[in-house]
């Protein structure tokens, strides 16, 4: 299929920004493509320091992160996009329920954003411009590209924060084989916009932060409840509170998020029962049925046995007789992690009872 002549840099910039906003992205900025990929050195240092827990896949792709033109040899510019997801949390239903991280209330952002990025790349191809898209799972450090493009600065909590607009947004990057006038990064960073505030560090339930902009993934509730593939250690399970999937504390306490932009993407609106999980239902559900009920949701990531493990940890923290009875139901669950978490939970609860 023939393509149109490649547009001028000014026309291409207008096209990129106009199409992006028309597809529902609420933030869009452009940067150049440097010889060394943004954030690659810091990312590799994090891997060498073993702050990636059991996320072994993060060690791969180091060469590509350092040399982004491996992905698109003629890359000259990068379009960095953000999509807000700051829906208001539904009221706490109480009872045997657990909190879910805000990003997982609706449709899986990987699917939604990647679909739109692919469409934007097809549009670019029609204008004679080659491109390469990335959202979270490819060897580009999206947060570093976002900082370079001026979408925000690197906060103490490792998030990209736009002053006054917060950090509740997903990121996507498109490398573009054409030169487009770049946007400047923010003039000031953490020292200016975070100042002396350390709320994210002070209120982290598991003390997972090891320094400004540094996180030990092995201690992070999000890692423990989503990516961890074993029994959650008691030392962390006791501090999970009611977080059954992910954790938002470091964003909830950030002053820049006190008045976040209202999300406009309906697909990220909270599905019924997804902001607060019914823990008894999770444990009583057949594994296949539970998995099927979560099609298209990020909640599928830890698999049925992982969600049940998390539910057990939260039930133990609730500590009620009803919670204990639900845990007893899965004491003989065929998955060793589920039964192991149940044994640990009952041991914890019995120990507290004796006191």
> Which positions are annotated as active-site residues?
136
d(CA 290, CA 215): 32
Site of tokens 């491109």 = 131
* Residue (of 53, 56, 73, 10) closest to 232 by Cα position: 53
Buried (b) or exposed (e) across 282-311, using 16+ Cβ within 10 A?
bbebebeebbeebeebbbbbbbbbbbbbbb
d(CA 207, CA 277): 25
Dihedral, CA of residue 22, residue 24, residue 30 and residue 33, to nearest 10: -110
DSSP per-residue codes, 288-316 = HHHHHHTTTSGGGTTHHHHHHHHHHHHHH
Half-sphere exposure of 354 (CA within 13 A, CB side): 6
282: part of which helix (H) or strand (E)? Answer: helix 279-284
CA distances from 347 to 44, 309, 342, 344 (A): 40, 15, 9, 5
SS3 state of residue 171: strand
């Amino acid at each position: 299929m023939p393509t149109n002549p490649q547009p001028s840099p000014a026309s291409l910039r207008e096209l990129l920004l106009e199409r992006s906003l028309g597809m529902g992205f609420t933030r869009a900025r452009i940067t150049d493509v440097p010889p060394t990929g943004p954030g690659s050195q810091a990312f590799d240092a994090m891997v060498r320091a073993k702050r990636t827990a059991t996320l072994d896949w993060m060690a791969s792709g180091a060469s590509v992160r350092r040399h982004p033109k491996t992905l698109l040899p003629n890359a000259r510019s990068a379009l960095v996009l953000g999509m807000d997801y700051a829906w208001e949390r539904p009221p706490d239903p109480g009872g045997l329920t657990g909190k879910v991280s805000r990003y997982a209330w609706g449709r899986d952002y990987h699917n939604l954003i990647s679909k739109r990025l692919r469409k934007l790349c097809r549009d670019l191809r029609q204008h004679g411009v080659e491109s390469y898209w990335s959202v979270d799972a490819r060897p580009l450090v999206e947060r570093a590209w976002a900082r370079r493009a001026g979408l925000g600065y690197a906060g103490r909590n490792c998030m990209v924060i736009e002053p006054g607009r917060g950090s509740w947004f997903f990121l996507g990057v498109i490398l573009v084989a054409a030169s487009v006038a770049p946007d400047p990064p923010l003039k000031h960073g953490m020292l200016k916009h975070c100042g002396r505030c350390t709320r994210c560090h002070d209120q982290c339930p598991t003390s997972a932060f090891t320094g400004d902009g540094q996180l030990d993934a092995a201690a992070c509730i999000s890692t423990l409840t989503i990516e961890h593939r074993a029994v959650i250690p008691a030392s962390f399970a006791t501090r999970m509170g009611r977080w059954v999937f992910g954790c938002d504390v470091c964003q909830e306490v950030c002053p820049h998020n006190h008045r976040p932009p209202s999300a406009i993407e309906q697909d990220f609106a909270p599905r019924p029962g997804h902001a607060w999980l019914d823990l008894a239902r999770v444990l009583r559900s057949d594994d296949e049925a539970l998995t099927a009920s979560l099609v298209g949701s990020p909640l599928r990531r830890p698999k049925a046995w992982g969600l049940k493990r998390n539910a057990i940890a939260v039930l133990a923290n609730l500590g009620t007789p009803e919670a204990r009875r639900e845990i007893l139901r899965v004491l003989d669950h065929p998955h060793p992690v589920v039964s192991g978490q149940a044994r640990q939970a009952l041991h914890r609860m019995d120990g507290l009872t004796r006191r």
